[in-house]
Chains A and B, each alone.
Chain A
Amino acid sequence: MLGFLKKVTDYAKDAIGAGNYLAQGLSVTFDHLRRRPVTIQYPYEKLIPSERYRGRIHYEFDKCIACEVCVRVCPINLPVVDWVMNKATKKKELRNYSIDFGVCIFCGNCVEYCPTNCLSMTEEYELASFDRHSLNFDNVALGRLPTSVTTDPSVQPLRELSYLPKGVMDPHDLPKNQKRAGELPTEILELMQQNPPKKFSEKSAKGNNKIEKNA
């Protein structure tokens, strides 16, 4: 009899506990109703891509020496370098250069290895087109610069989460000239040059000593 009663009370406790959890969950969802939407209203608002954003590749025809390093480091040998050997000058003469962005995976290897820095990555990501062949950019198309989100008058530029001031979560209605959280690399470098960290200077001093001993 007691065992049965215990079972019944345990069962009732479980049911009440389940109801309690349900109420907790409901309070969470109810609380979310009064929060501001976190979504970016895309064609009207756009996030500012970060400085290291790997978008569509930009190419400067005049800097290129047709070395084909970009082709060799590309996972699928995508860039097409069309050059001929000028026998008179014994130099490569570049005719055309193209990358098909319908196939490119935007890994950035070509940009990394380009010896003359004629390749770079832009912040452009809106590459939708009606025909996939129109994504095959030649050297003229590759040389165009994208419109920056910040200068486009029809777009409200919004900062990404990591570019917001400390403690701010919402990029909307942010006062101008608010500094992002943390220091910029240039600022860190300046700080280090003004008062060099102790450990760093000691280590370098030891290293110098070693070199002297070896000498």
Chain B
Amino acid sequence: MVTSSVTTSQVLITQGIDIELSFNQAMEGIGISPDFSHLLWLPLPMLLVLIAAVIGVLVTVWLERKISAAAQQRIGPEYAGALGILQPMADGLKLLVKEDVIPKRADGLLFTLGPVLVLVPVILSWLIIPFGQNLLISNVGIGIFLWIALSSIQPIGLLMSGYASNNKYSLLGGLRAAAQSISYEIPLALAVLAIVMMSNSLSTIDIVEQQNSAGLLSWNVWRQPIGFLIFWICALAECERLPFDLPEAEEELVAGYQTEYAGMKFALFYLGSYINLVLSSLLVSILYLGGWGFPIPVEWLANWLGQSIDAPLIQIINGSIGIVMTILKTYLLVFLAILLRWTTPRVRIDQLLDLGWKFLLPIALANLLITASLKLVFPFAFGG
């Protein structure tokens, strides 16, 4: 919503709703200078996205508990609110009031800094997540690359908290987390690179725009099926979800790098891992499943109904459909991740590294090469 470049803001005026512009105009109407109204505007989208992320996590935690229960023929949380929807709130509240223990022989500073370093990059990555044409905090030019860069800060935090805990399980968990993150970042980046090559841009907005020319049929998942699988596998590994939850494998390492953590510091890890899951699902839906796009383009529907796409009502419907579609696609992927959790056994560390380096990396490279050649041969279909 905060647009810096002139060209994009001109595009925004002609296309879609620009809440920032209306806000600024309303503020000027009261008699507030444009600079000050900009300053007033700045925290609003950030706060909104932060709230959206936290609510997203609460919903995901609830879904995880309910779907896990259903897969195991249990009922799951039932008494905290209707169908137990307040259960994640209760969990969070409990962690909030729990005693914050720092082990005697642990390094206090690094022990405290670890969870912060894990959580902050994940939340920062929400900067580039678009929920609609103009519904994102900042249309950064390097968009998706920013996310890759930020996600590589996370293993440092994990290693830091593992080492500072002064506990062998924590250290092993931290080392595993670092090894895993480093090995899966490369195929992940290569899969993203193929997408970037097709859309000629790193910006998430452009990537989604490029997919929505013909609705469902023009989504990247048809042009990049292998890239989609690679990205999904790597995203699961980056989130430390099963089958790649080695860093916190409870049967072997108690709880990995989280072993010594309690109270709010543990809650930060917990929050971080779930925000990361939602973020990864969001990115899969943005990169491969057409982001905010409806399976049939809304422009076509508007034309068919004889309405102008610039009509205010159509604009509002369009915006709502965008938000709903993004969230729907994301939660379908979250559902798949939860179902996978109860389907797949955990891989061994050697199998994990084999899969990363000997399978995903060569395939991702081949995929990149094939995409490049296809782009040269069929420039109309592969964004020449």
Binding site for B on A (CB under 8 A): 15, 22, 25-26, 28-30, 32-33, 35-39, 41
Complex A-B: 8 CB contacts under 8 Å: A22-B343, A28-B343, A29-B342, A29-B343, A32-B70, A33-B67, A37-B69, A37-B73
B75 and A37 within 8 A (CB): yes
User: A38 CA to B75 CA in the complex, in Å?
Assistant: 9
Q: What residues of chain B lie closer than 8 Å to A26, measured between beta carbons?
A: 339-340, 343
Cβ of B73 and Cβ of A39 under 8 Å apart? yes
Cα separation A15 to B360 with both chains bound (whole Å): 11
Cβ of B72 < 8 Å from any Cβ of A? Answer: yes
* Contact (Cβ within 8 A) A41 B75: yes
B73 touches A38 (CB 8 A): yes
* Residues A32 and B71 in contact, CB atoms below 8 Å apart: yes
B104: CB under 8 A from chain A? no
CA distance A25 to B343 in the complex (A): 6
Residue B359 at the chain A interface, CB threshold 8 Å: yes
Q: Cα distance A30–B71 when bound, in Å?
A: 7
Q: In the complex, which residue of chain A has the Cβ closest to the Cβ of B340? A: A26
Q: A15-B359, A25-B344, A33-B67 are in contact. Are A39 and B339 (CB under 8 A)?
A: no
- Tell me the minimal C-beta distance from B369 to chain A in angstroms: 15
Q: Is residue B98 contacting chain A, with contact meaning CB distance below 8 A? A: no
Q: Could you tell me if A32 and B343 are in contact, using CB atoms closer than 8 angstroms? A: no
Number of A-B contacts (CB under 8 A): 33
> Given the complex of chains A and B, what is the CA–CA distance between A190 and B186 in angstroms?
77
User: How many chain B residues have a CB neighbour from A under 8 Å?
Assistant: 14
Chain B residues, Cβ within 8 Å of A39? 73-75
A39 closest partner in B (C-beta): B74
Q: How far is the CA of A40 from the CA of B31 in the complex (A)?
A: 65
For A29, A30, A32, A41, the residue with the greatest tally of chain B CB atoms inside 10 Å of its CB is A29
* Per-residue interface assignment for chain B, residues 336 to 380, with 1 indicating a CB less than 8 Å from any chain A CB and 0 otherwise: 000110111000000000000001000000000000000000000
B71 near A37 with CB under 8 A, answer: no
Other-chain residue from B69, B74, B339, B359 in contact with A29 (beta carbon distance below 8 A): B339
Residue numbers in A under 8 Å from B340 (CB-CB) = 26
Given the interface pairs A15-B359, A22-B344, A25-B344, the reply to whether A36 lies near B73 with Cβ below 8 Å is yes
Known A-B contacts A15-B359, A22-B344, A25-B344; A30 and B75 likewise in contact (beta carbons under 8 Å): no
**Digit string of B52-92 for contact with A (CB within 8 Å is 1, else 0)?**
00000000000000010111111100000000000000000
Q: Which residue of B lies closest to A31 (CB)?
A: B71
- Bound-state Cα–Cα, A35 to B75, Å: 11
* Set of chain A residues within 8 Å of B67, measured between Cβ atoms: 33
B74 contacts A37, C-beta separation under 8 Å: yes
Are B343 and A33 in touch, CB under 8 angstroms? Answer: no
* A22-B344, A28-B343 known, 12 other contacts, Cβ within 8 Å: A25-B343, A26-B339, A26-B343, A29-B71, A30-B339, A32-B71, A32-B72, A35-B73, A37-B69, A37-B74, A37-B75, A39-B73
Report how far A38 CA is from B74 CA in the complex, Å: 6
Residues A33 and B70 in contact, CB atoms below 8 Å apart: yes
Which 5 A/B pairs are nearest by Cβ-Cβ distance? A25-B343, A33-B70, A29-B343, A38-B73, A37-B75
Complex contact A32–B73 (CB within 8 A): yes
When chains A and B are docked, how far (Å) is the Cα of A33 from the Cα of B63? 13
Q: Would you give the shortest CB distance from A68 to chain B, in whole angstroms?
A: 48
- Please name the residue on chain B nearest to A41 by beta carbon: B75
Chain B min CB distance to A4 (Å): 14
Within the complex, the shortest CB–CB distance from B129 to chain A, in Å, comes to: 27
A37 to B73, CA, bound (A): 4
Closest beta carbon of chain B to A150's beta carbon, Å: 24
Least CB distance from B306 to A in Å reads 42
In this complex, the member of B70, B340, B359 whose beta carbon has the largest number of chain A beta carbons within 10 angstroms is B70
